[in-house]
Structure 1
């Protein structure tokens, strides 16, 4: 059995490099003929209030031939914590706008004898009604999943690359982590996958692989180095999870034609940031 993870596509109604890369990655994924595809968030380019980006992303992701689901990232619904990126805090309205285009932001999907579990990392610590609903849903996962082995997917990693980075900018917040890990310990988790960090890294937890998946849109060296993301392969691509005899084997995969660029080298990214109120001149970038 084969599951593909794609993440951080950052699709824009403006078109450009990120859209081209997403389309090329989808053609590559279709050629791999997976049983299931999971998109782990930051579907849209930057601003969770730009509905035109969601509509464009919906059209592009419709090109995925296999059954697929998507999870929201901070650029899709906003971010929890006291200082969210660009003052775009996660809100009920932003979550509702995401759901209107991409479906529910938490789910259990049966793929063969396995259960693929996805949930919204941006709700933890938000205090929203949707957070309480998600906690109640997580409490009920053992009944939903049954005896099946589980793959867990989120946008931000459950655990940060290092303990001092266990905050809502990087991962699930430290206040929410113990409760979440206690609930996940009730399941037969055989692997974890997340996005957000824009690199490929493979570690392990209790014998299960823990994957940080690469973006397809851009690398993020100008905004986050190893001191934030931890070490990893800074190349665009996707992750293939081969599953056989109860064992999950992740592999980095990449088509040869993805355009490798840093986020500030991409015109649509600069335009999206400027529209959100960033003064690009202050960081030495021409709009």
Structure 2
């Protein structure tokens, strides 16, 4: 029997800033109606976890309430960003790592599911210069080396690149250039068949060196103008459903009809391109 795996990302949950609660409830309704075999959350579980640990605790409780076997990886709204690439001035540090591990456990992990090895890593560590960056890369090499014949699906929050993997431009949208080539070289040489990411709140598919790269959409807000301008696609909230059938993996985009298109760009353009300054709003 194929294994049904859900990849959801960028939920931005909070008990005090419940702007995206309705879409999360629609997702929970889908999961209750047809529970998958497993679920991966691809990061930005929380609204503003780097400075509000209660957001992390709330998101962890919501994940547990699904009652589905799951793993999670952190996003920049959970644990911060690589210090030299910190757009929100929330650099990853020991305190933020401790808050994450307290609420969710390890920053990186592997999970053998059917014929596949699933691996999750923390993209905030990449190009961070922290000792934890070296530890994560060593662990990734070990997880890849011990996979046997299993193909690998790698989950990470930030996409590896946009259009050009060799683009050296400074960015907070994709993995910083200094860390990009070593990661992609390691993946391409060691059985990674799929890279599943999120962060940019839009669904997209790429192929690179024999690897399929699939961007999960957000369940939270979208940027309609950017989606139409850059991708010629109207961005909608949703998630990705994978079917793992032996060594074969296929996926489909799911855009639930009960999820609302929430475009916060009027706010973000006026407030530093982030929603984290929004006033409190309790979930309805």
Task: Name the TM-score class by shorter chain.
Answer: 0.7 to 0.9
Partner residue, 1:43: 45
Aligned partner (choices 60, 67, 70) of residue 69 of structure 2: 67
Offset at residue 98 of structure 1 (A): 1.0
CA deviations 1:22-45 (Å, max 9, x no partner) are 232122134333221100101111
Partner residue, 1:87: 89
Q: CA RMSD in A?
A: 2.6
Cα gap change, 1:74 to 1:86, in 2 (>3 Å)? same
> Is the Cα contact below 8 Å between 1:114 and 1:148 reproduced in 2?
yes
Partner residue, 1:57: 59
Partner residue, 1:213: 216
Distance 2:172 2:224 in 1: 16
Structure 1 residue 21 corresponds to structure 2 residue 23: yes
Matches within 5 A, 1:201-240: 201-221=204-224, 230=231, 232-240=233-241
Distance 1:233 1:110 in 2: 35
Q: Alignment length, in residue pairs?
A: 272
Distance 2:210 2:181 in 1: 19
CA deviations 1:126-150 (Å, max 9, x no partner) are 1112111101112212333222111
Partner residue, 2:172: 169
Matches within 5 A, 1:40-189: 40-163=42-165, 164=167, 167-189=170-192
CA deviations 1:183-227 (Å, max 9, x no partner) are 2123222211101010111222344431111000111347x5567
TM-score after normalising by structure 2 = 0.86
> Is the Cα contact below 8 Å between 1:30 and 1:66 reproduced in 2?
no
TM-score after normalising by structure 1 = 0.85
Aligned partner (choices 191, 196, 213) of residue 193 of structure 1: 196
Cα gap change, 1:195 to 1:179, in 2 (>3 Å)? same
CA deviations 1:54-73 (Å, max 9, x no partner) are 12111211122321011111
Partner residue, 2:282: none
Distance 1:46 1:165 in 2: 29
Runs of 4 or more consecutive aligned structure 1 residues displaced over 3 Å after TM superposition: 161-168, 224-227, 229-233, 269-272
Partner residue, 1:4: 6
Where structure 1 has 5 or more consecutive residues not aligned to the other structure, the ranges are 276-287
CA deviations 1:125-174 (Å, max 9, x no partner) are 11112111101112212333222111111000122334447645011111
Partner residue, 1:278: none
Q: Which moved more, 1:242-251 or 1:211-220?
A: 242-251
Offset at residue 244 of structure 1 (A): 2.3
3-state SS of 1:87 partner: coil
